[in-house]
Amino acid sequence: MIVSSSTWLHRNHPDAHMDSYQHWSSEYSIGESFMRHHSQGETMRVAILSSGGKDSTYSAWWATLQGWDVVSIITVGVIGKDSMMFQIPNTAIAGVQAASIGVPWLPVMTRGHEDIEVQDLECAIAGNSSVMEAFESIWPDSYTVPEEMALHNGPLEIDGIVSGALRSDYQKTRIERMCERLGVKSFCPLWHNDQYGHMSSLVENGFEVIFTSISCEGLDETWLGAKLERNTLEKLESLSLENRFNLDGEGGEFETLVVNAPHFSKRVLVEGSPHWNGSRGVWNVESCLLEC
């Protein structure tokens, strides 16, 4: 059963044209509206921009360690073949993670067009999109909807947005500009972190990470569905040095999902299968549910 976390006031999704977008954006600022009633000294309220992968999931944990109130997990589901901003495969797992963490999930649908995908995200944060339409578009039929799942409806009343950007100026800049328009802060806790240090911290702190996409020379089909553990990290480091790819996958060399983390109340159970085309491949999640 899916429950709504707040009252949803339906508004028509703005036209993709910039004039329509600028009209509502200039009239509504989440940060300005919320901060009028947000007295100094209260707990920071943040939303996490998460694909369900290692970096955004780690950033969500980081936010909890700051003592902040994580009010929502936001996931952009790309209905298309490519995106310059957002991860594509298996991102609906972030909704299951949100249920495990105990926070509402805000799914966002976009077609991945470079000039409007951030606008789609901004519309959703401001409460100007259909949450149920996005959910139905990006939620796989093979996934089990957790009883604990709640969808966030309406504008997000937040002070900031936390993302897992590592070194992509393209991603970081666009998120920061969006946050400026919304009147909230942007936090990138992993920005320019040491690659080995970050990957090692995932292992040491109990993050269960699965490789779901491989797209670089030096990594073969055996990595699809493999888990990030101490021995696989050492092997990955050796291959990254030999083949000159980013150890943390920042260049798109691989993508991941997280099935358990320190801030999860329950493990996410997944089953999947690899699909390899000779030089790259994906591990498609075929079933996903929360552990009982």
Domain boundary assignment for the chain = 3-7+42-187, 195-290
| pLDDT grade for 111, boundaries at 50, 70 and 90 | confident
Q: Read off the pLDDT of each residue in 108-124 and give the average, rounded to a whole number.
A: 87
C-alpha angle with apex 88: 82 to 92, nearest 5 degrees?
A: 150
Residue 287 tokens, joined: 């079933």
Which tops the pLDDT comparison, 38 or 179?
A: 179
Instruction: Identify the pLDDT of residue 78.
Output: 86
Position 10 pLDDT exceeds 50: no
Nearest to 72 by CA among 21, 113, 131: 131
| Beta strands across the sheet bearing 268-276 | 254-260, 208-214, 281-290, 268-276
Q: Is the pLDDT of residue 11 over 90?
A: no
pLDDT digits (tens, 9 = 90+) for 22-69: 333 333 345 554 444 445 678 999 999 999 999 999 999 999 999 999
- Poorest-pLDDT segment among 90-99, 109-118, 208-217: 109-118
Euclidean distance between CA atoms 202 and 164, whole angstroms? 13
| CATH (residue range 195-290) | 3.90.1490.10
Is the pLDDT score of 13 beyond 90?
no
pLDDT attached to residue 20: 32
User: Do β-strands 185-187 and 160-162 pair in parallel, antiparallel, or remain unpaired?
Assistant: parallel
CB atoms within 10 A of CB 204: 9
Averaged pLDDT for residues 106-120: 86
The percent of residues in the chain predicted with pLDDT above 90, rounded, is 76
Instruction: Say if domain 3-7+42-187 classifies as CATH 3.40.50.620.
Output: yes
Is the pLDDT at 3 greater than 60? The verdict is: no
Using pLDDT thresholds of 50, 70 and 90, give the confidence band for residue 114: confident
The whole-number pLDDT of residue 18 equals 34
What mean pLDDT value characterizes the chain?
A: 87
Angle of the 117-125 helix axis to the 18-27 helix axis, nearest 10 = 30
pTM for the predicted model, two decimal places: 0.86
At 116, the pLDDT band (50, 70, 90 cuts) reads confident
Position 42 scores a pLDDT of: 86
Helix (H) or strand (E) holding 289: strand 281-290
Instruction: Find how far residue 101's CA is from the centre of its chain.
Output: 14
Q: Given a cut of 50, is residue 282 above it in pLDDT?
A: yes
pLDDT at res. 256: 97
Span 218-273, pLDDT tens digits: 999 999 999 999 999 999 999 999 999 999 999 999 999 999 999 999 999 999 99
**In this predicted structure, what is the pLDDT of residue 8?**
30
Res 79 pLDDT > 70: yes
